[in-house]
């Protein structure tokens, strides 16, 4: 959970810097990619942990 929140903060920070600073649009793109990967990873872990063992 800490890794998920840390990556969210990094993605938002890179997005803000990339949007505000002139010529650093690539930071915005990196922030969006990190955010998308982090959300996919969180969804994968949430779905995987939701299963119960069947006997």
> What does the pLDDT read at residue 15?
84
At 10-38, the pLDDT tens digits run 888 888 888 888 788 888 888 888 888 88
Helix or strand holding residue 45 (H, E): helix 25-49
Predicted confidence (pLDDT) at residue 48 exceeds the cutoff of 80: no
Q: Looking at per-residue confidence, does 12 or 47 come out higher?
A: 12
At residue 45 the predicted structure's pLDDT band, cuts being 50, 70 and 90, is confident
8: which 2 tokens?
């969210």
Interacting residues of 38 by C-beta distance below 8 A, sequence separation 6+: 4, 7, 8, 11
> What does the pLDDT read at residue 52?
59
């Amino acid at each position: 959970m800490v890794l998920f929140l840390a990556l969210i903060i990094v993605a938002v920070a890179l997005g803000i810097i990339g949007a505000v600073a002139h010529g650093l649009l690539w930071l915005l793109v990196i922030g969006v990619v990190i955010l998308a990967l982090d959300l996919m990873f969180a969804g994968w872990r949430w779905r995987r942990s939701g299963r119960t063992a069947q006997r």
